[in-house]
Amino acid sequence: MRVITVFLALAMPMAACAATSTRVELSGAPVTVEAERVKADAKGRLVLHLDDVRLSKGAGANVRIYLNAPKATAETGTEHPGFVQSLILVPSSTTRTPQGQNFAFPLPPSARAADPIVITFVPLGRKSVTMKRPYVTVTE
Amino acid sequence: MNRRSVLLGVALALFALPSFAAVCPRNIPIGNCAPKSGTATNFTGDTGPMRTRKSIFALNATEIKELRLAFAKLRALPDTDPRRWLAQANVHCWNCSGDSSTKPDVHGDWAFMPWHRVYLYTLEKILGELVGNPKFALPYWDWNTPDDPSCTTGNHRSIPPPYFPQTTGGTTTNSLWDCYRDQPQTSKMPNSQVGKSAIDFIINNYDTFDLFFGKANQSAALWPGPHGYVHVWTADHNVDFDNPKQDMGVLESAARDPLFWAHHANFDRLWDVWIAKYGVPSYPQAFLDQNWTFWNQQNPSKLIRMSADDAANRATRLKYQYAKPSCKPEATFVLQDLPVLDVIDLTVHPNTVVTTAATAKPVFKIREKSGTKVVLHLEDVTVPSDQGAVLRVYLNHPNATAATSPEDPRMIRELIIVPSRTPGSAHAEGHRSHSMNFVVVIPNELAREVEAANGEVPITIVPVTGRGEEGILEATPKKSGVRMKKPFISVE
């Protein structure tokens, strides 16, 4: 399993995040990253953001997302308590350069106590999916 | 008429039939999906009657027949008509960056829900126009409805039966078929991907407008999950996201498959499910201002401009609603035209009627090993709302009475209908219950008699009521009031 751990200051403003973020690439093996917290002191529900998600031309995506489950693999089911959501995107055969897409996934209440917030991506395909480094905000 | 003229006639007849190869060749290239140009006029709101979208599993035989007819007519429109099947599919292609379109993709942001709503609306109106039924409504494929053990046929997570087989009645193309699908009728999507819990999770957790509908630069909740799985699964039994397969498995060609519309109607329905839970959201003005152009149902068709505001006002602007999902599939596969069935009023005494065969006689064969079933249909059954009924249904037993034992092997079903209102209560008088459709699978030993009679077999319906303190159901009731269509038989 490939593990990418990115340590950045907590409560970093979103603009700064965008300016300094490291892209995450998924291409077959599970990848674990620490999600950056934005406005971590606010009360409310935590929401995981995946920004500028880009697919390989002509391919779709089927990526399972887990919270605090760094050992998750393709065999780990969606019944796992750390399962957040599947990122399933229909392929497009467009010849145009694919645009990045942004996604927001509510996290379970247990995420609030997690420090750091560790996100594991388990791609079920081999073609590359890339995105900006994930971050977490709080809904109001 | 000599042999040559007969052969020529046969050849011409075959040529005139809707050939499947003509509507679904092995390789329709993706691309060139840009619509005709034109000046759009603003959509002013639907002025027709309210339409009701039902679960595909709840359609009756007549509705399935009309759905198939509508898509057959859509496929048969000339190439010059922008309402035709491929042109309508290309509207989706053009709005998902297909053909190197410069239009924004309507999938990855808050356009996803309203754009697909008005897209489905325009096709629904076209189909309704083609079959001359202003109440025509698209069905929805509620793959997230759990299969209920009491359901006798059908699986919600399988491709719905009306979309099979490729041909109906031997030579007639099933207009709902798509040759690019890669799933047999027996395949079933995994519950973990598209089951009730997957959708409930989204409805229960995406509880704000931003989370559920998305933002101008953020995906809607329903775009990245089960939606995509159903698409890819339908086109590829390997569910390989790296090597997409048309039609359903690729955005640009997905709407070529008639299943696309039922799949997306289910997502459109979930918009209502979300509102039922959280109330109508305060839609941001920038969301409502989104607008797109479509071809309307008129002939010749005109470009209309529809907005997310139209979509947000579904009931008043688009004039349709959703019926709740039914767990009990009632779909039937009628292989010949079903005549208009008379409505019959049952008396309190045994009522014997001869069924109508809804299946073409040449194929009216029972194939036990293949699981074929002979099914009796009792449709549009109503009773006065302040009255119940117990009806025993016998096959080939015209002498059955209220005293006949319910253990009699010729009794194929006992229907018990509970009153919906208290007798004498306000609004009870003069009202009838909602119409109910019942399907009765006839046991194999009796089905042979149905086969021998080509589906035209006496059915005796005996109203009964309780007798004595023990309430044994063996008495003749004092009033009936039960009304239904003449029963018919199909083979499924």
Q: What is the pLDDT of residues B413-451, one digit of tens each?
A: 888 777 766 656 555 566 776 667 777 778 877 887 887
Res A89: pLDDT:
92
Residues of A in contact with B241 (CB under 8 A): 59-62, 88-89, 91, 124-125, 127
Size of interface A-B (CB pairs under 8 A): 122
Which DSSP string do the residues of B187-230 spell out, in sequence order? Answer: ----HHHHSHHHHHHHHHH--SHHHHH-BTTB--TTSSSHHHHH
Evaluate if residue A35 carries a pLDDT over 70. yes
Q: Summarize pLDDT for A81-128 with one digit per residue, the tens.
A: 999 999 999 988 765 556 789 999 999 888 888 889 999 999 998 888
Please indicate whether, in this complex, the C-beta atoms of B229 and A127 are within 8 angstroms of each other.
Answer: no
Q: Summarize pLDDT for B161-209 with one digit per residue, the tens.
A: 999 887 766 667 899 999 899 998 889 999 888 988 899 999 999 999 9
CB B455 within 8 A of CB B361: yes
- Checking phi first, is residue A103 left (phi over 0); if not, alpha (psi -120 to 50) or beta? beta
What average pLDDT does this structure show over B389-415?
Answer: 88
Nearest to A137 by CA among A44, A30, A5, A22: A44
Please indicate whether, in this complex, the C-beta atoms of A62 and B228 are within 8 angstroms of each other.
Answer: yes
Res B57: pLDDT:
87
Residues of A in contact with B226 (CB under 8 A): 88
Two tokens, residue B187? 């395949």
CATH class of the structural domain B28-322: mainly alpha
B165: preceding bond cis by omega (within 30 degrees):
yes
Match 């068709």 to its residue by tokens. Answer: B301
Please indicate whether, in this complex, the C-beta atoms of B108 and A62 are within 8 angstroms of each other.
Answer: no
Residues of A in contact with B214 (CB under 8 A): 104
CATH 1.10.1280.10 residue window(s) in chain B: 28-322
CATH 2.60.120 residue window(s) in chain B: 343-491
Nearest CA in chain B to A90: B228
pTM of the predicted protein model: 0.69
Two tokens, residue B105? 């993709």
Task: Report the half-sphere exposure of B205 (CA within 13 A, side-chain side).
Answer: 21
Nearest CA in chain B to A127: B242
- Count helices and strands in chain A by DSSP H and E runs: 1, 10
B264 touches chain A (CB under 8 A): no
CA distance A5 to chain B (A): 25
Average pLDDT, rounded, for chain A: 81
Evaluate if residue A12 carries a pLDDT over 60. no
Residues of B in contact with A94 (CB under 8 A): 96-101, 251-252
Which segments of B307-385 does DSSP mark as H helices, in order?
A: 308-312
What average pLDDT does this structure show over B304-322?
Answer: 97
Please indicate whether, in this complex, the C-beta atoms of B244 and A96 are within 8 angstroms of each other.
Answer: no
The complex's ipTM?
0.81
CB B257 within 8 A of CB B92: no
Measured CA to CA, the distance from residue A120 to residue A102 in angstroms comes to 18
Match 């620490």 to its residue by tokens. Answer: A34
Percent of chain B with pLDDT over 70: 80
Q: Summarize pLDDT for B235-245 with one digit per residue, the tens.
A: 999 999 888 88
Domain A2-138, classified CATH 2.60.120, yes or no: yes
Q: Nearest by CB to A78, from B192, B218, B227: name it.
A: B192
Task: Report the half-sphere exposure of B355 (CA within 13 A, side-chain side).
Answer: 30
CATH class of the structural domain B343-491: mainly beta
Band of the pLDDT at A11, cuts 50, 70, 90?
very low
Q: Nearest by CB to B217, from A88, A102, A125: name it.
A: A102
Buried residues in B474-485 as b, exposed as e (16+ CB within 10 A): bebbeebbbbbb
Evaluate if residue A78 carries a pLDDT over 50. yes
Which DSSP string do the residues of B22-90 spell out, in sequence order? Answer: HHS-S-PPS---PPPP---EE-----S--EEE-BGGG--HHHHHHHHHHHHHHHHS-TT-TTSHHHHHH
Two tokens, residue B30? 């993706």
Nearest CA in chain B to A56: B242
Res B315: pLDDT:
95
CA B305 to chain centre: 28
Band of the pLDDT at B12, cuts 50, 70, 90?
very low
Burial of B97 (0-12, 13-18, 19+ CB in 10 A): buried
Which DSSP string do the residues of B382-449 spell out, in sequence order? Answer: B-BTT--EEEEEEES-TT--TTS-TT-TTEEEEEEE--SS-TT-TTTTT-BPPPEEEEEEEPHHHHHH
Please indicate whether, in this complex, the C-beta atoms of B205 and A92 are within 8 angstroms of each other.
Answer: no
Q: Summarize pLDDT for B343-362 with one digit per residue, the tens.
A: 888 888 888 888 777 655 43
Between residues B477 and B294, the one the model is more confident about: B294
Evaluate if residue B337 carries a pLDDT over 60. no
Nearest CA in chain B to A53: B108
Q: Nearest by CB to A79, from B98, B192, B242: name it.
A: B192
CA distance A101 to chain B (A): 6
Match 């006689």 to its residue by tokens. Answer: B361
Q: Where are the domains of chain A?
A: 2-138
Nearest CA in chain A to B199: A85
